[in-house]
Amino acid sequence: MSLAEVTQGMAERVAKNGGLSGKVVTFDFGDEGCVRIDGTSDPAVVDNDAGAADCRVKLSMSDFQDIAAGKQNAQMAFMMGKLKVEGDMGIAMQLGKILG
Does the residue 52 lie in any domain?
yes
For residue 62, the enclosing domain spans 3-95
Give the tens place of pLDDT for each residue, 2-20.
999 999 999 998 888 777 7
In this prediction the pTM is 0.91
Q: What does the angle CA 35 – CA 4 – CA 80 come to, to the nearest 5 degrees? A: 50
Does the residue 26 lie in any domain?
yes
Does the residue 100 lie in any domain?
no
Give the tens place of pLDDT for each residue, 82-94.
999 999 988 888 8
Tell me the residue ranges of DSSP E strands in 15-75.
24-28, 34-38, 45-47, 55-58
For residue 46, the domain's CATH number is 3.30.1050.10
